Amino acid sequence: MIMKYPESRLRRLRYNNKVRELVEDVSISVNDLIYPIFICEGRKVKNEIKTLPGQFQLSIDNALKLCEKLLKSKIKNIIVFGISDKKDDSGEISCNQKSIVPKAIKEIKKEFKDEFLVIADVCNCSYTKHGHCGTIVNDEVDNDLTIETLAKQSKILVESGADVLAPSDMMDGRVQLIRKKLDDSGYVDIPIFSYSVKYASSFYGPFRDAVGSSPKMGDRKSYQMNFKNSFEFIREIEQDLNEGCDAIIIKPALAYLDIISRVKNKFNVPIIAYNVSGEYSMVKAGNQKNYIDEKSVMMEIMHSIKRAGANSIITYHALEIAEILKNNEV
């Protein structure tokens, strides 16, 4: 039996704040948040990224200071991106312990032990002269050569202390090869959080400014997914799960809430949504123009991502969200 108005008044469960809080079924915790850190060479470097207000390129010493701040805010999950002074044609330069990300991870682990879950992004775009995510052969990214480099890079990152690997390149077969490389080296317990669903999106612009990874020729549409497709994500996720990934990352988040929801309903796998640079910067720009209330919009976006089905969120807003949660401003 379905009750109708006036016996059923749906506003009763919204009539005051205490009732609303009691029946809420979506919440945000600092444990849901993953903070991205951009690490560069040098000392005492703190360069604000113009298209990512409030975010910085940091040398390792300043990255450690940021980590102290994160701990005080009870944020214990980070994902590390490198900004390399040296580049080559294949990204092979990333495959040694003196590369920027392995050096940074070693220092973070030395300083903070296991207080952070350190996720290492695995990709070549920050290390190639051409800005693409792999080795170019005949003007195309060669899939099979690229995944060999990614597997080598992955082993180096784990040897440096990375707790989780997050391959973001969108090459076919890379999860399988990385998993094999790790297992053969004795790292059977290291999880892979694969960017299984990564669209060729215009929302990445500020990130590419941050790490200097814009392609010098062409675009990434031959390996990142077409946003005009509704079902392509199914095969991508199935392939990565079959190859041994442990959780999936969906990127971007806000314009792809439908995909997050459909993945949640179809697959029994943890979902991490990446609230990407363009999404963040739009909120910042709107606030600077006094078009929106930043805190309210930011929290609405975060709850929408969780409501769609994400277990956790990579977001540049993490410190601000932690402060809001601490002060019970939600």
Active-site annotation, residues: 198, 251
The residue type at 235? R
Contact 40, 58 (CB under 8 A): yes
Work out the number of other CB atoms within 10 angstroms of the CB of residue 266: 12
Distance of CA 293 to the CA centre of its chain: 25
C-alpha pair distances (Å), 180 with each of 146, 149, 185: 16, 14, 8
How far apart CA 217 and CA 197 sit, in angstroms, is 23
Q: Are strands 140-141 and 136-137 parallel, antiparallel or unpaired?
A: antiparallel
Contact 77, 119 (CB under 8 A): yes
CA angle at residue 313 from 307 to 319, to 5 degrees?
115
Burial code of 45-81, b = ≥16 C-beta within 10 A, e = fewer? bebebebbbebbbbbbebbbebbeebeebebbbbbbb
Token pair in block for residue 179:
């998993």
